[in-house]
Structure 1
Amino acid sequence: MPLAAWIEYLAVAACAASAVLAAEGKGIDLFGVLVLALVTAVGGGTLRDLCLGARPLFWIEQPLYVWTALATAVTTFVLVRFARLPAKSLALIDAIGLALFGIAGTEKALAFGAPGIVAVLLGVVTGVAGGILRDVLRNEVPLVFRQDMELYATAVFAGAVAFVAIRFFQPPAKWHRWLAMALILALRLSAMRWKWRLPSLRLLDREP
């Protein structure tokens, strides 16, 4: 199996696990958790494939992605019922899924001949869209839109730009993926640690 496929399987598993952890305390039953996990795991990749015109969609072409998401969701569901996970578990697993899916999406867009800036944007969509759908379904403001949220989509953007830039100057190599994913993960975790945030829009007070 190609390395790119393994990365996407790991991303699906990470996003499915994050969805289960996000459902904790929301009164969602097992069926609801499975739906939430599937939407989170394949949502970003689905939007990417629709934008690229890729048919069939990645999880329809290879149903093992669906089984991976479901198996991870059930395993995580059972685990959290019998063990108390650290408070930062959701944020950490979400950051891993963000890094994996962000570069997987960017690489697939480049493989389809997308221009660099389009590949970067589709990498961001692949990384964050599943989490947006997850948060909307659980009646929360999506993480990416919160004013108090540390660098999130920005971390994916930076990693995707680095990946595209490296591929522009050098022939494809495996280490390009790992470097770009490590950059996303490092930025996200550092932002969580030191509260790095983008400035928010504040209009100057106007005289009546």
Structure 2
Amino acid sequence: MGRDFTALGHALSAAARSTILNLLMDGSSRPASELAAAARISASTASEHLGVLVEAGLVTATPRGRQRFYRVKDPAVAQVLEHLGTLCPETPVVSFRQSSEARRLSHARLYYDHLAGSLGVALTDSMAAMLWLSSTDGGLQATEVGLDALASLGILPPDGTAGRRPLCRSCPDWTERRPHLAGRLGALLAGHALRKAWVRPAARGRGLTITEDGAAAFKQHWGVVLPNGSA
């Protein structure tokens, strides 16, 4: 038997639902009120749209007090949406605020739980050049040299290679049109960068700001030179 793609197509067919998914693609958990404001719709309309996304298995809802918080269901769903994003046209930019957000997203962002944009691609390219990563059948694999180096930086814990989720995965970057590192190693790298304050979430949207410490660390350890800030 085949698959019924119309159910997923229906869930993705509304502009408001597209806005909601784009905002949740950084792996965050947000209240319905914030998502409604971002999509510029009423609370009751947002509730209807969120119900469609939950029913389609794209988003989950968690009660917190009187509010319900929503997030993308899991990394597998995020991966599917990232792949679909490479086939979709970019959202038209009609304001300075949208233009600034687009630059931030292209510069550095979280994609569910890993680094994406120019920063994510540059780090991946650097690790491949330093032989920390190797390409296998179109995917990525960490080398022994890479595992030792990442462990010495405190990014990979002693048991970091164990687990059901793939350690490395090549993820298509919809702004750079090139792959960046995902999987558990991508998540560990992003988490480390956030804890070290090498990057910090932008005041609004999904973009990341590269701090002065981050710019220095990315240059020292990976030879990656990107302007600090949000571009």
- Shared fold (TM-score, shorter chain, > 0.5): no
TM-score, normalised with respect to structure 2: 0.28
Q: Which has the higher helix share?
A: 1
Structure possessing the higher relative contact order (Cα contacts under 8 Å, 6 or more residues apart):
1
Larger fraction in strand: 2
* Structure with the greater alpha carbon radius of gyration: 2
